[in-house]
Amino acid sequence: MKVAIITLPLHTNYGGLLQAFALKRCLTEIGHEVCVLDLEDKMPGPKPFKAPFVYARRMLVRMLKGSAAPEIFRERRFREEFPVVGANTEKFISERIAPRVVRSFSQLKEGEYDAFVVGSDQVWRPRYFPDVENAFLAFAKGWDVKRIAYAASFGTSELEYESEKLSVCADLLSSFDAVSVREESGVRMCSEWFDREDVTHVLDPVMLLDVQAYRDMASSAEEHPAKGKLVTYMLDDSAHKRSVVDFISRAGGFEVHDVSVRPYDRGLPLEERVVPALEQWLAGFADADFVVTDSFHGCVLAVLFHKRFIAVGNTSRGLARLQSLTEMFGLDQRLVQGIDPEDDGEYFLEEPDWMSVEGVLQKRREECLGFLKSNLK
């Protein structure tokens, strides 16, 4: 069966790239001809008729909030800088994902594919997916094609859809042959807001592959500076996150190695914002002794590599992802908002029951592969 994957635009997001790679490989291994679709314009600007209003609003917010406000013409700057900051990740994209790049989804024609698989990552979060209706296959409405959602995510437990858009997307979702989501909260949201009751909670695609696949990639990294260290990977920096890192560093006597990237930090010179190769990033997790992260996929890798870890809640990006993941494996006490100063860190420094974690992982893998196989016959 010819299968096309609809996911977030592929750029410098490590987790987004890894899940696209994993889902393609998994579907290929169960016998399908698979391609990942990627948009040529990775950050499209507002539609022409909306542009004056959007830019005027951004200018007003910038006048009120100063440098803390979003940039007025951020899409243009992204296009100018992406070839530099994304040079290494583009190599991973072209060699390991090899997507079909299209100008827009309207370029696709009926009959090119037998099935569309939407997922994973936050494909159903309007702020992350341009024209989110296409993440519900609006461009393929009325086509005779299989429609599957695999580990699609809203990213948050709160609804972020305007009423009109919600109605359109709910109607589109009703035509899906099978729907699965990445977070338990997504099951509830599909039921309450999209009138879809038959929704399955599944693993992120990264967890469908055996960890050896990631060990092999990590082994190809040019350097291994993280060996035996406390590895930190933060999407957003903050004082309370740094305090968690300082706490566990002192408690465990760890040297800290940071694998965070700041491709959009304009306070840094452009050459310092270049995102290292994904294989190098993976090596940080593979070689770590302990991991502190606010990233969903950072936690996924800590679990797969059997690394002691702390997940720091990232409310601005949504807690549902981290809560669902840690609860699934009985590791929810490792999700924190901060650290009690009187805590000695003993619990966090203990090894989790990895045998129990692997038992859950293997069982869920079998269920998820069964979901994909049965719905892509």
Q: Give yes or no: residues 103 and 82 share one domain.
A: yes
> Tokens 């099935």 identify what position?
115
Q: Is 137 exposed, middle or buried (0-12, 13-18, 19+ CB in 10 A)?
A: buried
Asked if 95 and 114 touch (Cβ cutoff 8 Å), the reply is no
At 365, phi and psi to the nearest 5?
-60, -45
**pLDDT range class, residue 59, cuts 50, 70, 90:** confident
Q: Give yes or no: residues 23 and 125 share one domain.
A: yes
At 113, phi and psi to the nearest 5?
-130, 150
Tell me what pLDDT residue 75 has: 77
Q: Give yes or no: residues 63 and 158 share one domain.
A: yes
Q: Give yes or no: residues 16 and 102 share one domain.
A: yes
How far is CA 58 from each of CA 67, 196, 264, rounded to the nearest angstrom? Answer: 12, 36, 18
Q: Give yes or no: residues 15 and 153 share one domain.
A: yes
**pLDDT range class, residue 71, cuts 50, 70, 90:** confident
Question: Is 81 a member of any domain?
Answer: yes
Q: What is the pLDDT of residues 5-21, one digit of tens each?
A: 999 999 999 999 999 99
**pLDDT range class, residue 283, cuts 50, 70, 90:** very high
Question: Is 297 a member of any domain?
Answer: yes
Domain interval for residue 294: 223-355
Q: What is the pLDDT of residues 299-338, one digit of tens each?
A: 999 999 999 999 998 777 778 889 999 999 999 999 998 8
Cα gap 308→319, rounded to integer Å: 20
Question: Is 98 a member of any domain?
Answer: yes
Tell me what pLDDT residue 67 has: 65
Question: Is 214 a member of any domain?
Answer: no
> Tokens 């991991």 identify what position?
291
Q: What is the pLDDT of residues 236-265, one digit of tens each?
A: 998 889 999 999 999 999 999 999 999 988
* Rg, Å, the chain Cα set: 21
Q: Give yes or no: residues 185 and 238 share one domain.
A: no
Closest to 291 measured CA to CA, from 325, 334, 329: 334
Please report the beta strands in 18-62, taking only residues with DSSP state E, as ranges in sequence order.
Answer: 33-39
Q: Give yes or no: residues 64 and 195 share one domain.
A: yes
Question: Is 349 a member of any domain?
Answer: yes
pLDDT above 70 for 70: no
pLDDT above 70 for 68: no
- Written in H, E and C, the secondary structure of 236-268 is CCCHHHHHHHHHHHHHHCCCEEECCCCCCCCCC
Q: Which contiguous run of DSSP H or E holds residue 28?
A: helix 14-29
Q: Give yes or no: residues 38 and 157 share one domain.
A: yes
Number of domain units in the chain: 2
**pLDDT range class, residue 69, cuts 50, 70, 90:** low
Sign (positive or negative) of CA dihedral 216, 219, 221, 225:
positive
Question: Is 216 a member of any domain?
Answer: no
Q: Give yes or no: residues 166 and 287 share one domain.
A: no
Q: Give yes or no: residues 345 and 367 share one domain.
A: no
CATH code of the domain covering residue 183: 3.40.50
Q: What is the pLDDT of residues 100-130, one digit of tens each?
A: 999 999 999 999 999 999 999 999 999 899 8
